[in-house]
Structure 1
Amino acid sequence: MTSPARIGAEASSRERVRVAHVDRAAYRDWLWRYVGSGARYSRLYAYDDFVARWPSLTDWFAAPLSQRTFDTDNPVPGQHPHGGAGMIMPYLSYLSLVQGVGLDYEVLFARTFASPFTASAASTGLGIDRGVFESHVSRLVQLGYTQASARTDLRAALGRLLLHRGNPDLSAITMNDLDELRGAVDSFTERLRREPIREFYSRSRGKRLPADPIEAFHHSLTRRINAAHLLLFTIGQVDAAPPGRVDAASWTTRLAPVGTPPKMRAVIDRYLRLHLEANLGREQTVRHSRDALRRLTSWLRGQHPEITSFDQLRRAHAEEFLRWLGEQTSEHTGVPLALTTRRSIVTLLARFVNETAAWGWDDVPGRVLFTRGDIPKIARTVPRFIPDHELAALMSAVDRLPDPYQRAALIVARWSGARRDEIRRLAIDCLDTYPDGHPRLRIPVGKGYTERTIPLHPEAAAALRPLIDLARTRHARGRYDPSVGRAVEHIFTVRGKLLSKAFLFDLALKTACTTAGLLDSQGRPTISAHRFRHTIGTQLAEGGARLQTIMAVLGHRTPHMSLIYASLSDPTVKQQYQDALDRHLDGVALAGPAAQALREHRLDPQAVSWLQTNFLKTELELGHCLRLPQEGPCECDLVLTCSKFLTTSDYAPRLRARLATEQTLIADAVERGWDHEVERHQRTADRINALLSDLGEERQH
């Protein structure tokens, strides 16, 4: 049973109107004053039928929704359930906006919706200020909506809000009204899954039904409410910013998985909300903590359903969980969880246990479950900079990206080395110049909890300026950024929402890498956005930048990461490597297929870069293999004519010993009559003799 909706802009300051039909004469006078001659009689006849069917309007409000939804008896699915043109919705709109009888949301969702924002004169008689509505449409268009989508979204959302409130004043809508409408959409969607209320409506001929019509209904209405929310936020009518997406912020409403015991759920909610509301960590870190706790509670539900509180956990449970975690695979790729993922999970769980114990909370472990030794160790790798030839091909493809936001994001990443989220959150006042006119970029607070300014290449500045100008013309209201404690107006914003990292970087790089041919065997891009950061760090180090400069540009809080770039391009290592080669070139004879390339300095730059720090690893029994790791296993010992093989006179004694072995094997094969073995060992002996000859050593027979 449904009661009449709250009516009026401020119910506490207005008396509730009498829920009753309006007099026929009064309604007729209104129709003849505001409605065109072609619709007056049909609406008056619809009024007569409705009053005859429902003499008491209170009884209509109290009746089941299934009776109030239709205006005809025994409606047929697929046909109009309201008796053709004799719809009663115009009369209900009159009751709401003129007489103040607000309509409940169930009726506004179940029945065919007739927006009060029409071009007809009736909207004037309803008290709607069409000038205000049109200005709202124009404001959404200014924020990036198309004219059609802005008008459609506002008609659907604002129309239902006014009809529910029983007040045509658009300026009276509050944040509570928006929240109530969202809650009503969620509740009605759940009801649709139990009752096929909307299946009576016919579909446009040729229009394909969505895979899940109920979810499509929910998504469509929520998207339109978000558009209205954005408008009201932008003009300052409400203070809370709208969510970034239709499903944005949903993770904060589901902090614990379904089926989590009440005591565990209470602790998880309290812990995560404390970190969010007290700004004890970045939102991304809090979300990772939620995901780590979800893994633990899901595992407990499956393996130890008898545990209903965290204080029942012991070290034995933690060890069992660690073994289980090591066997898990990614739900996206099917491969084992990366060490970095497992490391994050264990680290965050250990933090949860330690913090809740220190705070003296109830229903928590209160003891050590995870130690530092439980955190998986990861190999320390060198930064993967983008080689020059790949970088040139990639940036040429980036220049041809059609979307200006994607293009600018990648160009800024290439020249600044900033992290993805830092670029995404650039403010419209982030770009200025040094006294000499060179562009300067202010990068927002990010992972390092520090704002910084860096020099920016003019190409990146040129890509940002048009977007900054566009953002300024939109006059969008800034959103509160907890990292800086104030509202910020961002550059990478469309329709009042920050563009996602996936759109700005992942999708853009997939397109650019495909164009540039930078794909692996499975068709995946070989370049990630983070490799731009590695490239800038490497270029700074190779250009002789000080450690403090690398730290300042990349935003490192400690010199540890910056030292990696410095050691990668250590001039001392490079000089010692070159000195070692020069000694071989000046005083020692060279032989082997790679000797000529080394003498003429024709080695690939990538090979030289790797050999600078790995030369000692190249040594073999009879010389050196200059093959890079990505070129596969070394074959120089087996095939001494390999193009990567190099030997020197220092290895002459070993070559002679190997030759003696080959000659012994030849004699044994001759004695046994193994002709193929004789041929194979003879080829090897001939190659060794050729190497000895190139080294100036006496040939042996």
Structure 2
Amino acid sequence: MWVDAHVPHLPARWERMGAYRRFVERWPNLEAWFEQPLLVRLGFVGEGMRSNGRTDSHRASGYLVYLSMVQGVGLDFDFLLGRKYARLLDRRSGSTGLGVDLLLFEQWVARLTELGHAPAKARNSLTWCLGRVMLHRGDPDMTAITAADLFAFGSAIRDFAARDDFNVLRRTLFANGQFHDDPDANRGFLRNHLANLHATHVLLYNVGQVTAAPRIGTRTIENWTDRLLPEPCPPKIRAVIERYLQLRLDAKLDRPQTVHNARQALRRFVNWLGENHPQVSSFAQVDRATIEEYMRWLPTCPSQHTGLPLATTTVKHELNAIAGFCRDTAVWGWAEVPGRPLLTPRDTPRRPESIPRYLPQHELDAIMTAVDDLADPLQRAALLLLRWSGARRDEIRRLTWDCLDTYPGGHPRLRIPVGKGRTELIVPLHPDAATALEHATSLARAQRSIARIDEVTGRRVDYVFVRRGKLLSGKTLFDEAFRTVCAATGLVDDRGSPTVSAHRFRHTLGTQLAEGGARIQTIMAILGHRSATMSMIYSRISDPEIRRQYETALADGHRIAGPAADALLHDALDDDTVDWLKTNFLKTELELGHCLRLPAEGPCECDLILTCPKFLTTTEYAPRIRARLATEQVLIDDARTRGWDREAERHEATCRRLQHLLDDRETR
């Protein structure tokens, strides 16, 4: 018999055989036992109650384990969560005869410990979780456990904690007083046992047994790509949108985030069609008039997050997505689509161009001091890289073991992975950031965490920012760390939320490069900009020529006046104008000021001081203006003497304009 072969101690053998006989006598039909209420099956209530408050069902636990592991009878999770099974994978409890590879189990405990878990915690977590999953499967082969088994167990843990009789079950299980009847006891149960399950998931992922990356809570999260158009809509519209989005995903025509944004835009349009034009059953029925009606409505649509009307940027992106859909499907010759472009580039609102917000030096100094004081070496390294590399958050999070080397002269340089700019970058790195990155890399190497498939490149890589076998989230690396930093420096509002974001490190670096005289190409290379226009924003913030002119004209007491003064004061000059003026400013000087007219605008044929919007004057020309004013007065008198009334009026108009320039200069 199995008991004789695998239970060496005679008293224990007799006890198990007695429990087995009593259980079989009470439940000759095992299906009838499975149909009983949970408290009965657990042996807490029912016939055959013993002096210890347990029935024969409870004492037959060894027999039920035998049925599952040896005979393949799977046990339900509710029953397994209602029992302890603390020694299921212990050689002393007879587990050698259950078919479990105990040597592999010990190797897994050692591997989980290597990943950063405490040895005792690693053993307890794996014993608690693996034992129950095997009993549920009715299979002692640990290598057969799948991600689906883990997700099903996670769902069962949450359901068990939500039971109305949870406290009754736990109080009965821990009859010796170990259980405290706390209204929040189910939360502790849920937290502790989901942590056990998560540790098991991390282990199985890092030994290559499951491919689904571990996530807190071990729950199946529905991917948006599985439901490209969740709302009910006409079949023809659904078919063509899903075909379009799936093609862009499968053929990698766009980044997943770009496809997701297009999905959101098309979904909003489809919902609007359903509410305002329910008769439309195909995109082929959508015409320009329908689009124009939607264009008027979209800026009034409230945001799901703020409740306010959609931002101009969002409106622009969503109209562009619809325009792209119409244009692409027309070129491809698809059916059930408009078959022609319905929007032009001029149909989208102009996006307001804001200047990047950088950190003032006093705030930057305080923040960097707080960053140096961070206790977590990975968070500290992440923020130092954000400060000195110019890389984006996700690019830093996806750094690999081989990302750091040196230039021939020995200065550190960083290889930034493919990100938003769709290209790898190599940039110089501050030695402090390089030192922190080297330490983080050494910690990752010590864990020997499994290489992962990078979601952007599709290549298998070894990530730096890994802890306990799991790639850290952006929230852990940046949000939580920067919240700690802002709290330490007092950069928080009344609710304790940071008043600045970690992304300002990137803007600060770009601003400092511009102020240091870096070329546009250098700023583009370090920040990963694909367009020079993006990098020129930093040059506009720190344009040394504009600053020199400002200091010359204003800091020394000068004032500016003239039609072009408003454009200069309100930064209304475009980049081409600024570039030309920076190199040709001396050529613009006239008798009473400067003409900001570009060569492409042709020669000036007007009286500059009267009407030209390109005219600008400063304090240094005031004596000339006054002299000209006196000359004009002489001309007025002469014209009056000669009876030239129209000529006198012209000179009087000139005098009024000259006096206005003097007055305007004083008021600015």
* Shared fold (TM-score, shorter chain, > 0.5): yes
Q: Distance in 2 between matches of 1:258 and 1:197?
A: 36
Aligned to 2:169: 201
Map 1:371-450 onto structure 2 (within 5 A): 371-450=344-423
Pair 350,156 (structure 1): closer, same or farther in 2 beyond 3 Å: farther
- How far did residue 249 of structure 1 move? 5.1
Matched, 1:487 2:460: yes
Aligned to 2:526: 553
Map 1:224-303 onto structure 2 (within 5 A): 224-239=196-211, 241-242=213-214, 246=218, 250-252=222-224, 255-256=227-228, 259-261=231-233, 263=235, 266-300=239-273
- How far did residue 154 of structure 1 move? 2.4
Q: Distance in 2 between matches of 1:124 and 1:28?
A: 11
Q: Distance in 1 between matches of 2:222 and 2:328?
A: 26
Pair 318,133 (structure 1): closer, same or farther in 2 beyond 3 Å: farther
Aligned to 1:179: 148
Secondary structure at 2:170 match in 1: coil
* Aligned counterpart for 1:112 among listed residues 76, 83, 98: 83
- How far did residue 148 of structure 1 move? 5.0
Q: Deviations over 1:461-482 (max 9, x none)?
A: 1221211100001111111114
Matched, 1:137 2:106: no
In the alignment, structure 2 segments of 5+ residues that lack a partner are 172-178, 561-577, 580-617, 627-662
- How far did residue 441 of structure 1 move? 0.8
* Aligned counterpart for 1:162 among listed residues 134, 150, 166: 134
Q: Distance in 1 between matches of 2:263 and 2:559?
A: 64
Secondary structure at 2:8 match in 1: helix
- How far did residue 431 of structure 1 move? 1.2
Pair 270,436 (structure 1): closer, same or farther in 2 beyond 3 Å: same
| Matching residue's letter, 2:549 | Q
Secondary structure at 2:501 match in 1: coil
Contact 2:447 2:468 in 1 (8 A): no
* Aligned counterpart for 1:564 among listed residues 519, 527, 537: 537
Pair 363,196 (structure 1): closer, same or farther in 2 beyond 3 Å: farther
Q: Distance in 2 between matches of 1:341 and 1:500?
A: 26
Q: Deviations over 1:419-454 (max 9, x none)?
A: 111111111211111222211111110000111111
- How far did residue 565 of structure 1 move? 2.0
Q: Higher mean Cα deviation, 391-400 or 346-355?
A: 346-355
Pair 537,475 (structure 1): closer, same or farther in 2 beyond 3 Å: same
Q: TM-score, normalised by structure 2?
A: 0.72
* Aligned counterpart for 1:124 among listed residues 96, 99, 103: 96
* Aligned counterpart for 2:72 among listed residues 95, 101, 105: 101
| Matching residue's letter, 2:427 | I
Pair 291,304 (structure 1): closer, same or farther in 2 beyond 3 Å: same
- How far did residue 569 of structure 1 move? 2.7
In the alignment, structure 1 segments of 5+ residues that lack a partner are 1-25, 591-611, 614-645, 655-691, 696-701
Contact 1:128 1:169 in 2 (8 A): yes
Pair 64,296 (structure 1): closer, same or farther in 2 beyond 3 Å: farther
Matched, 1:327 2:300: yes
Q: Distance in 2 between matches of 1:475 and 1:504?
A: 20
Pair 422,45 (structure 1): closer, same or farther in 2 beyond 3 Å: same
- How far did residue 520 of structure 1 move? 4.9
- How far did residue 118 of structure 1 move? 3.7
Indicate the percent of aligned positions where both proteins have the same amino acid.
Answer: 44
Secondary structure at 2:423 match in 1: coil
Q: Distance in 2 between matches of 1:361 and 1:106?
A: 51
Q: Distance in 2 between matches of 1:364 and 1:49?
A: 72
Aligned to 2:553: 580
Q: Deviations over 1:262-309 (max 9, x none)?
A: 735555554444444433322332333343344344445555566565
Q: Distance in 2 between matches of 1:546 and 1:227?
A: 50
Pair 304,207 (structure 1): closer, same or farther in 2 beyond 3 Å: farther
Contact 1:81 1:201 in 2 (8 A): no
- How far did residue 511 of structure 1 move? 2.2
Matched, 1:460 2:427: no
Pair 197,315 (structure 1): closer, same or farther in 2 beyond 3 Å: farther
Secondary structure at 2:373 match in 1: coil
Q: Deviations over 1:328-384 (max 9, x none)?
A: 444444444333333333333433444445445555555545443343321122222
Matched, 1:476 2:464: no
Aligned to 2:58: 86
Q: Distance in 1 between matches of 2:534 and 2:506?
A: 12
Q: Distance in 2 between matches of 1:406 and 1:332?
A: 28
- How far did residue 119 of structure 1 move? 6.1
Secondary structure at 1:101 match in 2: coil
Count of residues in correspondence between the two structures: 565
Pair 223,349 (structure 1): closer, same or farther in 2 beyond 3 Å: farther
Secondary structure at 1:467 match in 2: helix
Map 1:556-635 onto structure 2 (within 5 A): 556-581=529-554
| Matching residue's letter, 1:541 | A
Q: Deviations over 1:599-657 (max 9, x none)?
A: xxxxxxxxxxxxx99xxxxxxxxxxxxxxxxxxxxxxxxxxxxxxxx999949999xxx
Contact 1:42 1:85 in 2 (8 A): no
Aligned to 1:641: none
